[in-house]
């Protein structure tokens, strides 16, 4: 489905080329780190997550990874909608394996204001994780996130706060033995609460962004400890006028045995000429 959309969009790609050239500047949830900036995708612009991958390993045979193809569309000024389909693969120390679709994610994000000298940029996002697929939770979960971005001369600072409503999900038996709620399919969406801060530094002449984060979260599925402390770092690179690449690495700090995680993603930005011309009329 996503490949067909990308092919059809090639006709209108030049319409959004200027915006796409600076896509490396915009940090997204999980790409390359969990904490993101407060800005939404531009109106009428599309962003296609071709192959965002997250891999986590905790030793003793515990490992999991997921891939979540997604598409984002700038629906209104400073507002975008997003659809994603996470697919998860997990292996336990007992050798059991589970894989499959882990839900259907729907998201609506709105940037409340542009940043000024005295007021930071603020954003709000609402996410729904629907019970679609064999590894999805048994019910729908709603997650609400507030975002703040403040720019200083040497760097930018981002603050995120997140809460998820609903009772804790049941885990399939082979997956339940993993040491972290990250072993469930949609790790990012299954936090009772999450609070984090990130800093990033851009290098415009090289179209590169470096970022680091520190966050605390309480998973819906309680693991060894009620609260997890996670640190991560990442890089985002504008490989071409329409293609951005990102790479991230992080680890839980509240346990001496990890787990570690790594992320890799690609974002292809494009526009449809028909939508642009329709607005002009």
What is the percentage of the chain residues whose pLDDT exceeds 70? 78
**Per-residue pLDDT for 50 more than 80?**
yes
Instruction: Tokens for 35, please give them.
Output: 């904490």
Distance of alpha carbon 213 from alpha carbon 38, whole angstroms? 15
What are the residue boundaries of the structural domains of the chain, listed by start? 2-280
Distance of alpha carbon 53 from alpha carbon 70, whole angstroms? 11
Distance of alpha carbon 230 from alpha carbon 250, whole angstroms? 7
SS3 37: coil
For the chain, give me the number of helices (H) and strands (E)? 4, 16
Residues 51 and 268 sit within 8 Å (Cβ to Cβ): no
Tokens 């979540």 found at:
68
- Residues 132, 218, 106: CA angle, nearest 5 degrees: 30
Give the pLDDT band of residue 278 (cuts 50, 70, 90): low
Write down the pLDDT at residue 60.
65
The pLDDT tens digits of the residues spanning 71-117 come to 999 999 999 999 999 999 877 656 677 889 999 999 999 999 999 99
Summary mean pLDDT of the chain: 83
**Residue 276 phi, psi (nearest 5):** -65, -45
CATH number of 2-280: 2.40.160.40
- State the number of CA atoms in the 13 A half-sphere of 281 facing the CB: 6
CA 220, 145, 182, 198 dihedral sign is negative
Write down the pLDDT at residue 93.
59
The structure's pTM equals 0.83
Instruction: Tokens for 125, please give them.
Output: 């996002």
**Per-residue pLDDT for 45 more than 50?**
yes
Distance of alpha carbon 55 from alpha carbon 90, whole angstroms? 10
Instruction: Tokens for 54, please give them.
Output: 């997250």
Give the number of other Cβ atoms within 10 Å of residue 147's Cβ.
Answer: 25
**Per-residue pLDDT for 9 more than 50?**
no
Instruction: Tokens for 253, please give them.
Output: 């700090």
Write down the pLDDT at residue 47.
94
Distance of alpha carbon 112 from alpha carbon 108, whole angstroms? 13
Provide the β-strand partners of residue 265: 246
Write down the pLDDT at residue 49.
92
Q: Which of 57-71, 100-114, 133-147, 167-181 has the lowest mean pLDDT?
A: 167-181
Q: Please name the residues in contact with 239: beta carbons below 8 A apart, sequence gap of 6 or more.
A: 245
Distance of alpha carbon 148 from alpha carbon 158, whole angstroms? 6
Maximum pairwise Cα distance, the chain:
62
């Amino acid at each position: 489905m996503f490949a067909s959309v990308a092919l059809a969009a090639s006709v209108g790609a030049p319409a959004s080329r200027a915006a796409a050239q600076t896509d490396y500047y915009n940090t997204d949830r999980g790409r390359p780190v969990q904490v993101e900036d407060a800005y939404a995708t531009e109106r009428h612009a599309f962003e296609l997550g071709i192959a965002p991958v997250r891999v986590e390993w905790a030793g003793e045979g515990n490992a999991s990874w997921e891939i979540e193809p997604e598409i984002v569309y700038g629906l209104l000024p400073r507002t975008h909608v997003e659809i994603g389909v996470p697919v998860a693969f997990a292996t336990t120390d007992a050798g059991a394996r589970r894989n499959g679709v882990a839900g259907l994610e729907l998201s609506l994000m709105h940037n409340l204001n542009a940043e000024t000298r005295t007021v930071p940029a603020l954003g709000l996002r609402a996410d729904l994780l629907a019970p679609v697929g064999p590894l999805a939770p048994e019910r729908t979960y709603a997650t609400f996130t507030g975002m703040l971005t403040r720019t200083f001369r040497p760097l930018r600072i981002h603050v995120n706060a997140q809460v998820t409503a609903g009772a804790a999900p049941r885990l399939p038996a082979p997956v339940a033995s993993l040491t972290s709620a990250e072993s469930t399919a949609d790790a990012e969406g299954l936090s009772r609460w999450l609070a984090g801060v990130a800093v990033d530094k851009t290098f415009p002449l090289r179209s590169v962004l470096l970022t680091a984060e520190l966050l605390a979260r309480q998973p819906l599925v309680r693991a060894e400890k009620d609260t997890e402390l996670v640190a991560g770092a990442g890089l985002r690179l504008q490989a071409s006028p329409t293609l951005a690449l990102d790479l991230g690495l992080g680890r839980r700090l509240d346990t001496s045995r990890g787990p570690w995680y790594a992320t890799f993603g690609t974002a292809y930005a494009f526009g449809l000429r028909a939508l642009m011309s329709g607005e002009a009329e």
